[in-house]
Structure 1
Amino acid sequence: MDLIIAVIVGLIAVLHLYFLTLEMFLWDKPAGRRAFGLSAEEAATTKVLAANQGLYNGFLAAGLIWGLYLGRAGTDITVFFLLCVLAAGLFGAATASRKILFIQALPAAVALVLIALR
């Protein structure tokens, strides 16, 4: 069970590093615009806001990696950051795009349930 949890949390961390990359470095590039459905003008106007959002996604990834690094001793840290990911995913699904529920919130919820069942 610990290995399954670690793999899921690790994948969530990698996903948030991907979000960081898209939002901080690729926002106004074709890959970033395509991922978020933005025109060149929209991307240019919101680039600074996206970079800020990307930084927060990096913090989420760092917290998850920190918790994984500590193993069982890092369970509380992992749970805290998974709850942050879940909250961000729920908010994003409610305010931006419903697909965020499945991309961000659902994996965090699955990991939290597995940790609770451990």
Structure 2
Amino acid sequence: MKWLSLAAVALVALEHVYIMVLEMFLWDKPRGLRAFGLTQEFATASRALAANQGLYNGFLAAGLLWGLAGDAVPVQLFFLGCVLVAGVFGACTAGRRILWVQAAPAAVAIALVLLARG
């Protein structure tokens, strides 16, 4: 169970590295436009906001990786909780898809981390 919880945390971290790259570097490129369903005009106008948003996703990924490096369950749970809250908020304000893409994996990872603790 322990390895499964570590894998789940790592997957959430990698997902947030990917989101960071999309938002910071690919926002107004074809891949970013497709991923977020944006027009070129909107993406160009909102590029700085997206880069800021991407930086926060990078911090979430860094925190999760930090929690994995030291096998620090409280750190893992804190950052997974942040991802869960951000996902629920995003689902309520930006799009329901975020609930399944961001919040659900975090919730599963939280459950696995707690189960692995015994």
TM-score, shorter chain, exceeding 0.5: yes
Partner of 1:38: 38
- Find the counterpart in structure 1 of residue 79 from structure 2: 81
Give the alignment partner of residue 102 of structure 1, picking from 78, 84, 100: 100
Distance across 2 between alignment mates of 1:70 and 1:116: 17
Q: Distance in 1 between matches of 2:68 and 2:29?
A: 32
Helix, strand or coil for the counterpart of 1:5?
helix
Q: TM-score, normalised by structure 2?
A: 0.96
Matched, 1:65 2:65: yes
Aligned residues: 116
Considering only aligned residues, what root-mean-square deviation do their CA atoms show, in Å?
Answer: 0.6
State the alpha-carbon separation in 2 of the partners of residues 106 and 88 from structure 1: 11
* Runs of 4+ with deviation above 3 angstroms: none
Match in the other structure for 2:24: 24
Give how far 1:117 is off: 2.0
Match of 2:11? 11
Asked if structure 1 preserves the Cα contact closer than 8 Å seen for 2:6 and 2:113, the reply is no
Structure showing greater relative contact order (alpha-carbon pairs closer than 8 Å, 6 or more residues apart): 2
Contact 2:6 2:68 in 1 (8 A): yes
Cα distance between partner residues in 2 of 1:116 and 1:41: 44
Task: Give the Cα separation in 1 of the matches to 2:111 and 2:14.
Answer: 20
Question: Aligned partner of 2:50: which letter?
Answer: A
Separation of aligned partners in 2, 1:115 and 1:22: 28
SS for the counterpart of 1:97 is coil
1:90 aligned onto 2:93: no
TM-score normalised by structure 1 residue count: 0.96
Structure 1 CA distance for aligned equivalents of residues 26 and 98 of structure 2:
19
Report the residue type matching 2:78 in the other structure. Answer: F
Can you give the 5+ residue segments of structure 1 that lack an aligned partner in the other structure? none
